[in-house]
Amino acid sequence: MTGKLIVFEGGEGTGKTTQIRLLAAALDHDVLVTRQPGGTSLGQTLRGLLLDSPPGSISDRAEALLYAADRAQHVDEVIRPALTAGTTVISDRWVDSSLAYQAAGRGMDPAWVAELSRWATAGVQPDLTVLLDIDPAVGLARAARRGAADRLEAETLDFHHRVRWAYLRLAAANPSRYLVVDAALPVDAIAHLVHAYVFQITADRKAAA
Ligand SMILES: Nc1ncnc2c1ncn2[C@@H]1O[C@H](COP(=O)(O)OP(=O)(O)OP(=O)(O)O)[C@@H](O)[C@H]1O
Ligand SMILES: [Mg+2]
């Protein structure tokens, strides 16, 4: 596979969608913007179930499996063909979301969630994960301005703190594959940091090729 997979991760309202739009516009080559859940037709249906079902209506194990099903379809139908064609793929969320939300947030066994995710993605891994990090109270307030809270936004603040620390631990365990950015910075400042980093690793890769 020759294309690069760049993933944006972070809690609610950290600015993932905002920054993905800006990065896609700044890259001058072929770019595919997609998301989990919801990057395929099946994924759209699963996203509706996962985000809009009433609180308590999906068991933890069923939730983990629905996210895995979304990922399997996404990799088979969209991600792998795009990477094989040399396209740069930018995804709004990836496996780290399950490690943060299902494992750290819900308390499921992280080894089990990691194994399920590995199976679902069939070994496809991001070349870079941009982690947008912010105090969850600030992120949730931003997300709330968009309207009614979805099933995950409606979780306790404690849940969202566990999600935040899980993300930071994942980044700390593999620093060369993560860019952690303070999401409290202004939109333009974050974009500047992200673009400089992405351009640099793209250039590094070209130099190394
Ligand atoms: N750096 C920033 N400073 C202030 N406000 C921001 C910043 N980045 C994004 N916002 C605003 O915060 C809100 C949430 O941003 P956005 O939708 O990009 O976040 P998100 O991480 O995609 O959220 P979700 O996880 O709910 O999809 C939007 O109203 C956006 O305009
Ligand atoms: Mg978003």
DSSP string, 58-113: S-HHHHHHHHHHHHHHHIIIIIHHHHHTT-EEEEE--HHHHIIIIIIIT---HHHH
Query: Could you report the per-residue pLDDT of 84-99, keeping only the tens digit for each?
Result: 999 999 999 999 999 9
Q: Is there an atom of ligand 1 within 6 Å of 186 CB?
A: yes
- Give me the pLDDT at residue 154, please: 83
- Give me the pLDDT at residue 150, please: 85
- Give me the pLDDT at residue 193, please: 98
Q: How many helices (H) and strands (E) does the chain have?
A: 9, 5
Q: How far is the CA of 31 from the centre of ligand 1 (A)?
A: 21
Q: Is there an atom of ligand 1 within 6 Å of 118 CB?
A: no
Residue nearest to atom 29 of ligand 1 (CA): 142
Q: How far is the CA of 140 from the centre of ligand 2 (A)?
A: 12
Contacts of 2 (CB under 8 A, 6+ apart): 83, 84, 86
Query: Could you report the per-residue pLDDT of 130-162, keeping only the tens digit for each?
Result: 999 999 999 999 999 988 788 888 889 999 999
Provide the pLDDT confidence category of residue 119 given band limits of 50, 70 and 90: very high
Is the distance from CB of 11 to CB of 66 less than 8 angstroms? no
Amino acid sitting at position 19: Q
- Give me the pLDDT at residue 186, please: 98
- Give me the pLDDT at residue 1, please: 66
- Give me the pLDDT at residue 207, please: 55
Query: Could you report the per-residue pLDDT of 169-198, keeping only the tens digit for each?
Result: 999 999 999 999 999 999 999 999 999 999
Region 113-121 average pLDDT: 97
Query: Could you report the per-residue pLDDT of 37-77, keeping only the tens digit for each?
Result: 999 999 999 999 999 999 889 999 999 999 999 999 999 99
Q: Is there an atom of ligand 1 within 6 Å of 95 CB?
A: no
Strand, helix or coil for residue 183: coil
Within 13 Å and on the Cβ side, how many CA atoms surround 145?
A: 8
Q: How far is the CA of 129 from the centre of ligand 1 (A)?
A: 17
Each domain of the chain, given as residue ranges in start order, spans 5-208
Nearest ligand (C-alpha, residue 139): 1
Q: Is 202's pLDDT higher than 90?
A: no
Q: What is the CATH number of domain 5-208?
A: 3.40.50.300
> Ligand 1 test: best mutation among 18, 133, 152, 164, most atoms within 8 Å of CB?
18
Q: Is there an atom of ligand 1 within 6 Å of 16 CB?
A: yes
Q: How far is the CA of 84 from the centre of ligand 1 (A)?
A: 31
- Give me the pLDDT at residue 120, please: 98
What mean pLDDT is reported for the chain? 94
Is the distance from CB of 130 to CB of 181 less than 8 angstroms? yes
Region 92-111 average pLDDT: 97
12-31 burial by CB neighbour count: b if 16+ within 10 A, else e? bbbbbebbbebbeeeeeeeb
- Give me the pLDDT at residue 28, please: 78
Q: Which residues are annotated as a binding site for ATP?
A: 10-17
Is the distance from CB of 93 to CB of 16 less than 8 angstroms? yes
